[in-house]
Every structure is written in structure tokens, then in C-alpha cells.
Amino acid sequence: MKQREPIRQIMTQNPIVLNQNDGLAEAEKLFKEHKMRHLPIVSGEKIVGILSMTDLARISFVDSYDPNNFEVDTAVYSLFSLEQIMVRNPQCIPPTTTIKEAAEIFLKAEFHALPVVEDEKLIGIITTTDLIQYLLEQY
């Protein structure tokens, strides 16, 4: 396994994002269309928050959450705004962060995605799934 390899090597570059003025229906559409679970929220090129598929499921009062069959009662979208349910000011990392350092952050954290920021601009995202995939490729 390579030592000190930067996160830039395995992150998703130019991630799909939501603008902070977008609605929750747009978030659900992007989650389904791109089969992903985390969306950075931006104002211009600056990250202001992050939304997970779990965040949407939580506000829909669903009894069981199945990421493969993600159905939300969209009527609830009129009760909340994106800014109300997104995680504000998420922890971000620079692209020079090593893969090991990112894994250590995930080990201690209660989240599964880290936006990658350079010069205050969102340039990527790394998830726990990306790390697992990287580890599997090493074997």
C-alpha cells in the first residue's frame, strides 16, 4: 500500500452540487439520478453545507430507510428548506490530505463524506465508499 498518497488521487473531482437556493425536490432528483448519497451545497464556488440522502429520509418521517428504494413523501418538502436540513459549514479537507489522514477523520467522525477544498473553492468530495474501494483495489 502506498504511503502518504494524497486524497486527490481517489476523490471525486468536480462533484455534482446543489446551490443553496435549490429545493429539496432537486436534491432528491440528483440523489436518484446519479445514485449518490451526499451533495455539497454551494454559494458560487464556496461550500456552505452538505446534504445526505439520510437527511432527506429523516425529514420524511419514514419508518425504514432503504437507499435502493428511496421514496419520500414530497409533500414534506414544502415544510422545510434546504438550508434548514443541510449540515452547515461541514468539515473540509485540502487535496493534499493523505488517504490515511482522511480515513482517520472518518474513524472519529459521525459523517461519511468530506468536501475537498482548495483556495476556498470546492474541487472534490471523498466518501467512506471511496476509501473502501481504494483499499479493495490494493488487494
- Fold observed for domain 7-137: CBS-domain (3.10.580)
Cell numbers that stand for 82 in this block? 434546504
**Residues belonging to the chain:** 139
pLDDT confidence bin for 56, thresholds 50/70/90: confident
Q: Dump pLDDT digits (tens) for 108-131.
A: 998 999 999 999 999 999 999 999
The per-residue pLDDT for 113 is 97
The domain segmentation of the chain, as residue ranges, is 7-137
Map residue 117 onto helix, strand or coil.
Answer: strand
Q: Dump pLDDT digits (tens) for 59-98.
A: 876 544 555 555 556 677 888 899 999 999 999 999 999 9
pLDDT confidence bin for 139, thresholds 50/70/90: confident
Nearby residues of 133 by Cβ (< 8 Å), 6 or more positions away: 10
DSSP collapsed to 3 states, 17-48: CEECCCCHHHHHHHHHHHCCCEEEEEECCEEE
The CA distance from 92 to 18, in Å, is 17
Q: Is the four-CA dihedral 69, 73, 74, 78 of positive or negative sign?
A: negative
